Amino acid sequence: MSQNELHVIFGTGALAKWTARELVKLGKPVRMVSHSGKADLRIPAEVEVVKGDAYDVKNNIEVTKGAEAVYQCAQPQYHEWAEKFPSMQKAILDAVSANGTKFIVGDNLYMYGDTNGQPIREDMPYQPHTKKGKVRGAMATAVMDAHHAGKIRAAIGRASNFFGPDDTAVTSFAIRPALSGKAINLMGKLDQPHTFSYIADFGKLLATLGTREEALGQIWFAPSPAPVTQTQLVKIMEEEMGQKVKVMAAGKLMLNMLGMFMPTLRESVEMLYEWEKPFIMDSSKAEKAFGWQGTSLKDAMRATIDWCRQS
């Protein structure tokens, strides 16, 4: 592989795949780093996949040597964030610093905490009140502090709760079951407006940040469609599927009960606030700066359903 403008992505999950696809569209050589080192059919053929331990700084220095940009799309298991996530990201950041490459981080909105329904914007202060929000906030602060100190050149891309092809989170429990006639699993109140991001748009944002110098030193939200209630999202799903969809909505009590057996659901309890009040992300900054809008929910849902059927 040519090292000219090499772009290295840590992780091979949904966000990593969509970031890779966008970079390939831009004609960039791409390397993906995963624990197994195995490629799958959903990774573009042009992409090199290598085995690596993201917790190992020396390994990270080696696999990112000569890179133009490094993308952090890897993460530990949801219930292991507090224990493992900071050390993983630090090991990647230290490698980026050693090699003098750009660092683009895929992030979420947890660090802003409960804004009581007020739209979330990039420049809002961090006010985390959850364990995972505090972890994410501290990690993001470390990245931007390193940028401002001149140790690295970095940008952070964030999205709201996302769905789409390759996603195994929201898509798996809130869309896929409907195709087999089962009830989909939602959370909290179904009548509150919520911003849903599309995973392909999130990947496009990260690829944009890694190829636009003016994006560095800033935080950016993925262009996303206008917020809808979960009830409205289900209606879009029904229209695209051509069938009625059964719905189950889990509250705190149910999540706590199920969490006794499923660590991921146990960790979801503290995030229930996102689903009990308006949860709105304002992505106008990136839309204006980069000149593109988020995919419509109708188009995103159609593509997601098609992928679920095929896979």
90: left (phi over 0), alpha (psi -120 to 50) or beta: alpha
Q: Is 253 a residue whose pLDDT tops 80?
A: no
Structure confidence by residue, pLDDT tens digits, 141-162: 999 999 999 999 999 999 999 9
| CA gap 234, 232 in Å, rounded | 5
DSSP H stretches of helix in the chain: 14-25, 57-63, 81-99, 131-148, 170-174, 199-211, 230-241, 252-259, 263-268, 284-290, 297-310
CATH superfamily of 6-163+195-226+280-295: NAD(P)-binding Rossmann-like Domain (3.40.50.720)
Q: What sign for the dihedral angle of Cα 59, 63, 66, 72?
A: negative
Please enumerate in sequence order all residues whose Cβ is within 8 A of that of 172, keeping only pairs 6 or more positions apart, or say none: none
Residue 195 three-state SS? coil
| CA gap 49, 128 in Å, rounded | 35
In the chain, domain spans: 6-163+195-226+280-295, 170-192+228-275
Q: Is 39 a residue whose pLDDT tops 60?
A: yes
DSSP H stretches of helix in 149-187: 170-174
What phi, psi does 303 have (nearest 5°)?
A: -65, -35
Please state, rounded to an integer, the average pLDDT across all residues of the chain: 95
Q: Is 1 a residue whose pLDDT tops 90?
A: no
- Amino acid 2: pLDDT: 42
| CA gap 182, 176 in Å, rounded | 9
Count the alpha carbons within 13 Å of 133 in the hemisphere toward its beta carbon. 20
Residues 204 and 14 sit within 8 Å (Cβ to Cβ): no
Please enumerate in sequence order all residues whose Cβ is within 8 A of that of 310, keeping only pairs 6 or more positions apart, or say none: none
